Amino acid sequence: MVEAIWTTTEKDGRITVHLIDQRELPTREIDVPCRTHKEMADAIREMVVRGAPAIGISAAFGIALGAQEDLAPSDGLSFSSYMEEVALTIGQTRPTAVNLFWAIERMRPVWQKIASHPSRERTRILFAEAQAIKDDDIQRNRKIGTHGQALLPSKATVLTHCNAGALATGGYGTALGVIRGAVEAGKSVSVFADETRPYLQGARLTAYELAADGIPTTLITDSMAAMVMSQGRIDAVIVGADRIAANGDTANKVGTYGLSVLAREHGIPFYVAAPFSTIDPRTPNGQAIPIEERSAREVTHAGERRMAPEGISVYNPAFDVTPARNISAIITERGVFRPQELSDYLSSASSQEPVSQA
Ligand SMILES: CSC[C@@H](O)[C@@H](O)C(=O)COP(=O)(O)O
């Protein structure tokens, strides 16, 4: 299975974090090496790496890179303030996926605790923590796959949007993890993948991943989803999430909200698959989720080719919010929750995950 993020150790003992350039897939598999936290911040902002859990993992590795840099001060006090600057740079890359802030929040007590350790030791510990976040994400996704597959019949056609697969996570995927879990459980699953305008994560990444796995996949443009639903060809819609608010409202790739309305109209279950690192109990509802707006060029151009007249005004929100009432269930590593059940669970003390705010 394709990997989005991995590390290598150089001869001098320094660690390089590698990203597969997701802007170039599926035609070219290009390795983007990151050696500084600024390189990692740029890679997140420019969407070399994307997908909420993968952004969080990259942020954690970016922090470890910051500690490894020659600029890192040797005394404990200055190290802590330097690391806050590193975290600020990384935290200003993409605003919607809460996993970014969750990962920074998880790394912070680690760098604070080891501030007075020798530099090599600090670097080693912070890279180990980032790697643990990645490994943990894969375990969470496998559990999401196990819980989620039970919701699907033995023969199912699933519609998915964007890419919530191995490329968007540490590995295995969330929405695609459910599909993979169903296939591993012996179910016969086929997929309709929305192309996902304007960035085409569905056409470029989901189609690439599922084809590599040999899972039968049909690519459609986003505007065809209503048609295939009306034809009775879809058993379930499964999507990932960038941030799930305390009331269950969910931000995900723009177009997800529309799919949820269509699914309700056609009586099709609409599932969100996400780890608890994507759930943000500090954001009360969808209206409070910061929505990233991206450049007009993503809409006006297809690659290098201009598709719209010069000077046209463009609105390009990268995400939209699906209200909790349109979500049949949220599939997590801790089990399957209806939105209200998740909301109740979040109010209980046992649910706590370290989540920070944008
Ligand atoms: C498991 S990934 C879930 C979401 O992050 C995914 O569906 C999505 O919206 C990704 O958006 P992107 O802009 O590609 O980072």
Atom of ligand 1 at shortest range from CA of 175: 1
Distance from chain centroid for Cα 193: 17
What is 5-140's CATH topology?
Four Helix Bundle (Hemerythrin (Met), subunit A) (1.20.120)
CA of 239 from ligand 1 middle (Å) equals: 9
pTM of the model: 0.96
pLDDT average, residue stretch 313-333: 98
Atom of ligand 1 at shortest range from CA of 55: 15
Token pair for 283? 């954001």
Q: Report the complex ipTM.
A: 0.99
CA of 121 from ligand 1 middle (Å) equals: 34
d(CA 36, CA 63): 9
User: Ligand 1 pocket: which of 174, 196, 252, 289 to mutate (most atoms <8 Å of CB)?
Assistant: 252
d(CA 301, CA 304): 6
Q: List, for residues 36-61, the tens digit of each pLDDT value.
A: 999 999 999 999 999 999 999 999 99
Q: List the chain domain ranges.
A: 5-140, 150-351
Candidates 242, 249, 280, 320; catalytic one: 242
For 43-93, what is the HEC assignment?
HHHCCCCCCHHHHHHHHHHHHHHHHHCCCCCCCHHHHHHHHHHHHHHHHCC
| Per-residue confidence band for 105, with pLDDT thresholds at 50, 70 and 90 | very high
- The percent of residues in the chain predicted with pLDDT above 70, rounded, is 97
What is 150-351's CATH topology?
Rossmann fold (3.40.50)
Q: For residue 234, which of 273, 262, 211 has the smallest C-alpha distance? A: 262
Ligand 1 pocket check for 201: Cβ under 6 Å? yes
Identify whether 70 is a catalytic site residue: no
Ligand 1 pocket check for 252: Cβ under 6 Å? yes
Ligand 1 pocket check for 242: Cβ under 6 Å? yes
| Model pLDDT, residue 353 | 64
